[in-house]
Amino acid sequence: MTSNDKLEDLLKQMYAQEEETIDTSDIIDEEWQKFESEHFAPKRRSWDWMQIAAAFIGLLMLSGIAYATIHIVSNSHSQQAETAADTTAAAPTLPSTADSKLSAADSIPQTRIFENAPLDEMITEIAQYYNKVADIESEKAHELRLYYKWEPKDALENVVADLNHFEHVSLAIEDDKLIVKP
């Protein structure tokens, strides 16, 4: 065999190897596309039961929050209306001697909230409840407005001590009088 023949055989072998390489690369490309479509392509998944439960719980929580918000807002509006009605209502009547036979729990009224109420009106109402006369010696008492939560079950001395914590308020109890001092 001549060197040309050897060279020719060598070239044929190389060409045959190249065709095999091309054939295997086509197979590799096909397999890669198949793998890519299975693992990287976006899939449409159906919801599993955990996702449905989470969505349902979220909806329940939102409904509960909305209900609570509505309930709180409606209660605050009704409480404001009730408080406004309380501050404009007449002073409670004093219990008569016939009513004194009632038990102590029956004779104690509910908590009274004075909201932006003039001091002189508050003192008059509180004095009447404790069977005292309101003596208003301060002219500022007509102008001064307060917010105060009065518990009628408390002793008058405690109420006076509470009110004396306010700036520009000076109260004293003397005999049958509740006095607003200048």
Which tens digit of pLDDT belongs to each residue from 148-180? 999 999 999 999 999 888 888 889 999 899 988
Domains recognised in the chain with CATH numbers: 113-180 (3.55.50.30)
**Average pLDDT value for residue range 41-56:** 78
Partners of residue 136 on adjacent β-strands: 180
Contact 85, 125 (CB under 8 A): no
Q: How confident is the model at residue 58 (pLDDT cuts 50, 70, 90)?
A: very high
C-alpha 76, offset from chain centre: 13
The dihedral through the CA atoms of 177, 155, 159, 90 has a sign that is: negative
Angle, alpha carbons 97-98-103 (nearest 5°): 95
Partners of residue 179 on adjacent β-strands: 135, 172
Give the pLDDT confidence score for residue 102 in this predicted structure.
42
**Average pLDDT value for residue range 75-101:** 57
3-state secondary structure of 125: helix
**Average pLDDT value for residue range 11-18:** 77
**Average pLDDT value for residue range 97-110:** 50
Q: How confident is the model at residue 21 (pLDDT cuts 50, 70, 90)?
A: low
Q: Which pTM was predicted?
A: 0.41
Q: Which amino acid is at 137?
A: E
